[in-house]
Amino acid sequence: MSGNIQLLSDTLERARSENRAALIAYLPAGFPTVDGGIDAVKAVVAGGADVVEVGLPHSDPVLDGPVIQTADDIALRGGVKIADVMRTVREAHEATGAPVLVMTYWNPIDRYGVERFTAELAEAGGAGCILPDLPVQESALWREHAEKHGLATVFVVAPSSKDERLATITAAGSGFVYAASLMGVTGTRESVGAQAQDLVRRTRATTELPVCVGLGVSNAVQAKEVAAFADGVIVGSAFVQRMLDAPDAAAGLEAVRALAGELARGVRRDGDGAGAA
């Protein structure tokens, strides 16, 4: 069975044709439970997310902040396994029709087996993987199996990436390019926004792939700001925080659905990004 890389490409192209950025939501599998995580994915798509990244919880998520680390810890203490991640992808995709990717560090795939992982992800209806810590020069085996199974290989670029390095990374990737920055950490919002905009410009000079930005976006105003220069706006911690703050599971689902609605209006470049969800 072939994976859904074409659905991912079509979804991003549809957003572009509608003169807006795509809204890409990240949620960890198994948080707060496996069933609860599946329901959360359904809720963000119902709210307006175009694409979903399902996180594979890891004991040492070095690139994730404390909010996602907290959710990963809850999922791992709940006993989440790769089989649960695949089930999350399958049930979320079947219920929503949206493209669903897995975001994971390399070690779990390496231990599980590349062929086994890619075959199961494709069978589950997955669209691909985001691999933040897999060096491009060590990715040939993964890319061979991902391509065979119709899965996107999404690599991460950063403001520190030199132009030559950007060209190497984007030439090896598929689906889209994940442009990462650190809004609110590396400087003022204005300076970080300018840095991200420059990264998108430099990345686009090397590839025809859509360039989607993860910037710590948490509200419609910020989503609109990023959507002005990016093909997609990636939001993760804000969704997870809403669930962590909720008094119960039902309230958590309503909170992430509402946030997705706010963000979906924000990514429409011709809209005001305002209004209740």
Question: Catalytic amino acids?
Answer: 53, 64
CA distance 244 to 67: 9
- The answer to whether the CB of 90 falls within 8 A of the CB of 125 is yes
Bond prior to 32 in cis (omega within 30° of 0):
yes
CA distance 232 to 20: 8
Nearest to 31 by CA among 48, 59, 50, 55: 55
The C-alpha angle 193, 101, 31, rounded to 5 degrees, equals: 90
CA distance 157 to 166: 7
CA distance 100 to 40: 13
SS3 261: helix
CA distance 103 to 11: 18
CA distance 220 to 218: 7
The C-alpha angle 100, 105, 111, rounded to 5 degrees, equals: 105
Structure tokens at 64: 């994730």
Structure tokens at 252: 């958590």
